Amino acid sequence: MRVLIVEDETTLRAQLVRAIAESGYAIDEAGDGETAEFMGATEPYDAVVLDLGLPKLDGITILKRWRAAGIATPVLVLTARGAWTERVEGIDAGADDYLPKPFQMEELLARLRALIRRASGHASAELRCGGLVLDTRSNRVTLDGSPIGLTAHEYRLLSYLMHHVGRTVSRAELTEHIYAQDFDRDSNTIEVFVGRLRRKLGRDLIRTERGLGYRLEVP
Ligand code: CA
């Protein structure tokens, strides 16, 4: 899962990047509205955290342009404290949720998890596929009750497949959703990660659809 963080206050942006990265997401960041609009329009994010007061282009305009262009990425807007008109404007412009500043990081993380799982049709914070359980709150994975230790990339890859269980996902799509923009991407490494996941989870859980990609099968 990959998240774009748009915030012009550098201290807050750094806090957001750290907290959201620690929660198992690949992160891109933007500090002004023009950069943010371009990134959101050209990269396939699983969610965006969008501050509304930004240099060069304000958050409401960015959101309206994305929605007019058919970009349906879930967006959590950060609004000024007490500015209820901003919240109304944000929701009307296409925001999926909002959080007034200042906020507790834990609340932002919980809202972000909920947005991402609802966008892929999951109501529960625990994603299940047979005996495999991924808890999006703790980033813990268990198989038939036993904990499975995963690296950050293995976790992101499995999390993406679990969010899209039953659907065949191409290597290109996996690459786009588990790496940040500035990361040196190589779609061959996807095969390596899948191989490692199979060694940890058993060979049959992740199916290969030759020429198409990978699929977690609902048992
Ligand atoms: Ca701001």
Q: How far is it, in rounded angstroms, from Cα 186 to Cα 193?
A: 12
CA distance from start to end of the chain: 23
Calculate the alpha carbon distances from 213 to 104, 112, 167, 184, 187 in Å. 39, 27, 10, 21, 11
Cα of 177 to ligand 1 centre, how many Å?
A: 27
- The candidate with the shortest Cα–Cα distance to 77, out of 126, 138, 4, 24, is 4
Domains of the chain, start order: 2-119 (3.40.50.2300), 126-216 (1.10.10.10)
- pLDDT of 15: 98
Task: Give residue 53's pLDDT.
Answer: 94
pLDDT score for 218: 81
Q: What's the gap in Å between 52 CA and the centre of ligand 1? A: 6
How close is the Cα of 69 to the center of ligand 1, in Å? 24
Q: What distance in angstroms lies between residue 36's CA and the mean position of ligand 1's atoms?
A: 13
Q: What is the pLDDT of residues 118-137, one digit of tens each?
A: 999 998 999 999 999 999 99
| Token pair listed for 61 | 């305009």
How many whole angstroms from 7 Cα to the centroid of ligand 1? Answer: 6
Which residues of the chain carry a pLDDT beneath 70?
187
CA 107 centroid distance within chain: 16
Q: Give this prediction's pTM.
A: 0.94
The alpha carbon of 118 and the centre of ligand 1 are apart by a number of angstroms equal to 27
